[in-house]
Structure 1
Amino acid sequence: MAQQFGATSTTDDVLSGIDLTGKRILVTGVSAGLGVETARALAAHGAAVIGTVRDVEKGQHATAGIPGITLLQMDLASLASVRAAADKLVAEGKPLDLIIANAGVMACPKSFTADGFEMQFGTNHLGHFVFVNSIASLLQAGGRLVNLASSGHRFSDVNLDDPNFEQTEYTPFGAYGRSKTANILFAVEFDRRHKARGVRAVAVHPGGIQTELGRHLGDDVLAGLVAQLNENNRAAGLPPFQWKTIPQGAATSVWAGVRASADEVGGLYCEDCHVAEPENNDQAMRGVRAYALDPDNARALWAKSEAMVGERF
């Protein structure tokens, strides 16, 4: 029987006994939190890790203890920066076995990327959409894309009629929800487009972890969120919300990218080191909402994203 992992599993648990020597793995956002831990764990098992960072000096400090990591400067909030980073990788021409699209922002005040996109949709989705598609040819057969999404996708479906909140009232978590739903839908459509050549894609929810991602949340907002989660859990007969450690939070990324079989996770959404069940209750933190896995929604998002960035993939 395959080894079972769950919410308390760590990266080291998931990677126990796995040798990644000879594998080239790219992780976005390795200057803090889950990105650093993901890169550390993969490198510790022999992988050659390329990590993208917005701030190279910060990234060098954060990854100083990771042997052999290569840093690549990239700001997901600037398509010029994204394309420059992708061009560098394509010019090198070295194949990749795994891309973990880890970087992101959460619940920030209304703001816009260098290209005029709403910051969370532009950074979390469109930046990765252009970057991953630009280097997709480097993913060899057997390769995989892991998109870090979130249970926050339950806050909102994508809004393809008003992605920049020009007519819709902006709320930080509503925008976050849109971007995280987009991360899942991108994995769904990327998987459909590439599985015939042996490349698969999956989206994951890392869990609730206290990292720099929550920099825009004050203590009172955070406390209110936890109280609401606990109220929802009580109503659903579930145990109280528990924070994960960073190694526990990064575990689902490496499980979905390395340990799980491609057919087990391809085109799906995972949490706590397993494939998530469908869940239609928007108050429930666990599970995946139907709109996030809808293939028609995924194709429509792809087309809208191409139109927004002015590039066909």
Structure 2
Amino acid sequence: MPQPFGFNSTTEDVLEGVDLKGKRILITGASAGLGIETARALASRGADLVCAARDLEKARRALAETFEQAADGVQIELIELDLASLASVRKAADALNAKGETFDVVIANAGVMACPEGTTSDGFETQFGTNHLGHFVFVNRIAPLIKDGGRVVIVSSGAHHRGDVDLDDPNFDKTPYEPYLAYGRSKTANTLYGVALDSRLRGRGVRVVSLSPGLVPTELGRHRAGAPAGASPAPAPSVPPLLPKTLQQGAATSVWAAVVAASDLIGGQYCEDVQVAPINTDLATRGGVRPYAIDPTRAEALWRKSEEMVGERFDL
């Protein structure tokens, strides 16, 4: 009997024997780190890709190996997408809608982490605006392009343990800014968005899942000198440190959720280590998902607040 996937599973492990020829997958943040490995793994199995990135030249350089390892006949398209600008988000979504080509999977992978205090071009706190609101508008706008029975994969983080979203103060206008708290709230928002979007799309068989890739040393952690990406202060001295993963291990949960796992298993769920994560209410331990991050009532409240903030309503 095959062994279940887990912490050490890689993209190659979860895609063994999988043929993705004829599948079309969109990946945001496909210019570095997990986005590149996700793209490489899927293209090597025959999937056509649309790779979205803020810096297209950087993405072309980073994707060079992906082009080389792609299966015969695979098409890889690059589109410009700056999630910190709703003008860019809407322009990219409008261009995709105008083309009308459908997707089997959308992977919302891009993000920023523990940034110095700042705002997006629209005045939102940088991490909430980029990680959540940018994807909220982009994915909602292209939702009609996702095929019935398709999937949306949202890369969240175990950093959601840092705190629930503050719907009364999403931009830290009333409270002191703390980079890791802001990051954690944005990742909670990612997970709650997955719950709300799944409830809207499941009627046509489209399921939505959020996940933690684990601690993976990538340029995401550029704002924390001397520490790898994903590293955040331990919630308590007694909590053991996170163990790092390779890129191949970190992207494994994304590709598993995208094309391997059963839809009904992962729909509306939060996953980690290539499996559905358990609910964890113990503040002294890592792992699992906090109840507030998958609460349907909180998810709906965030949806309404997000619509208010971006000035756009989505009836999906």
Please, what TM-score do these two structures have when normalized by structure 1? 0.94
Question: Counterpart in 1 of 2:70?
Answer: none
Q: Contact between 2:180 and 2:232, CA under 8 Å: does it hold in 1?
A: no
Question: Retained in 2: the 8 A contact 1:149–1:184?
Answer: yes
Q: Which residue of 2 aligns with 1:45?
A: 45
* Shift in alpha-carbon separation, 1:97–1:168, aligned structure 2, 3 A: same
CA contact (8 A) 2:32 2:219 kept: yes
The aligned counterpart of 2:301 is 300
Aligned counterpart, 2:214: 207
Within the alignment, does 1:92 sit opposite 2:117 as a pair? no
Q: Which digits, 9 at most, give the CA deviation of each residue in 1:118-142, with x for residues without a partner?
A: 0000000000000000000000111
Whichever residue aligns with residue 165 of structure 2, its letter is: V
Report matched runs for 1:91-170 at 5 Å: 91-170=98-177
Tell me, yes or no, if the aligned pair for 1:96 and 1:138 is still in contact at 8 Å: yes
Q: Could you give the per-residue CA deviations for residues 20-62 of structure 1, whole angstroms, max 9, x where no partner exists?
A: 0000000000110000000000000000011101001100100
Contact 1:33 1:211 in 2 (8 A): yes
Q: Secondary structure at the match of 2:52?
A: strand
More helix by share: 1
Between the aligned partners of 1:227 and 1:30, the Cα distance in structure 2 is 27
Give 1:226 shift: 7.4
- Would you say the 8 A contact 1:230–1:241 is kept in 2? no
Structure 2 unpaired stretches of 5+: 68-74
1:310 is aligned to 311
Structure 1 counterpart SS, 2:89: helix
Report the equivalent of 2:268. Answer: 267
Match in the other structure for 2:71: none
RMSD: 1.7
Cα separation, 1, equivalents of 2:239 and 2:224: 22
- Aligned partner of residue 60 in structure 1, secondary structure: helix
Once residues 166 and 305 of structure 1 are traced to their aligned partners in structure 2, the CA distance between those partners, rounded to angstroms, is 16
Residue 72 of structure 2 corresponds to: none
Question: Counterpart in 1 of 2:14?
Answer: 14
Read off the aligned partner of 2:249 and give its amino acid letter.
Q
Look up the equivalent residue of 1:103 and give its one-letter code.
A
Q: Structure 1 226/161 Cα, relative in aligned 2: closer, same or farther at 3 Å?
A: closer
1:78 counterpart residue number? 85
Amino acid paired to 1:58? K
Task: Compute the TM-score of the two structures, normalised by the length of structure 2.
Answer: 0.93
1:171 paired to 2:178: yes
- Cα separation, partners in 2 of 1:23 and 1:3, compared to 1, 3 Å: farther
**Structure 1 segments of 4+ aligned residues over 6 angstroms from their partners:** none
CA contact (8 A) 2:25 2:48 kept: yes
Are the aligned partners of 2:216 and 2:228 in contact in 1 as well (CA < 8 Å)? no
Cα distance in 2 between the residues matched to 1:289 and 1:228: 16
Deviation at 1:232, TM superposition (A): 3.5
Change (3 A) 1:5 1:203: same
Give CA deviations for 1:135-194 in whole Å, capped at 9, x if unaligned. Answer: 000001110000000000000100010111000111001100110000000000100011
Structure 1 residue matching 2:65: 3-state secondary structure: coil
How big is each residue's C-alpha offset from its partner over 1:223-280, in whole Å with a ceiling of 9 and x where there is no partner? 9x5784795445xxxxx63210001000000111111100000000000001001111
Is the partner of 1:164 in helix, strand or coil?
coil
The aligned residue for residue 29 of structure 1 is 29
For residue 17 of structure 2, give the secondary structure of its aligned residue in structure 1. coil
What amino acid sits opposite 2:122 in the alignment? D
Identity %: 58
User: Structure 1 counterpart of 2:17, which letter?
Assistant: G
Structure 1 residues 222 and 73 mapped into 2: Cα distance closer, same or farther (>3 Å)? Answer: closer
**Alignment length (residue pairs):** 306
Query: Contact (CA 8 Å) 1:229, 1:241: kept in 2 or not?
Result: no
Deviation at 1:65, TM superposition (A): 2.1
Distance 2:233 2:134 in 1: 33
Per the TM alignment, residue 4 of structure 1 is displaced from its structure 2 partner at its CA by 1.3
1:271 partner letter: E
Residues 107 and 216 in structure 1, CA contact (< 8 A), matched pair in contact too: yes
Instruction: Pick closer, same or farther for the CA change 1:211–1:182 going to 2, 3 Å.
Output: same
Distance 1:241 1:105 in 2: 20
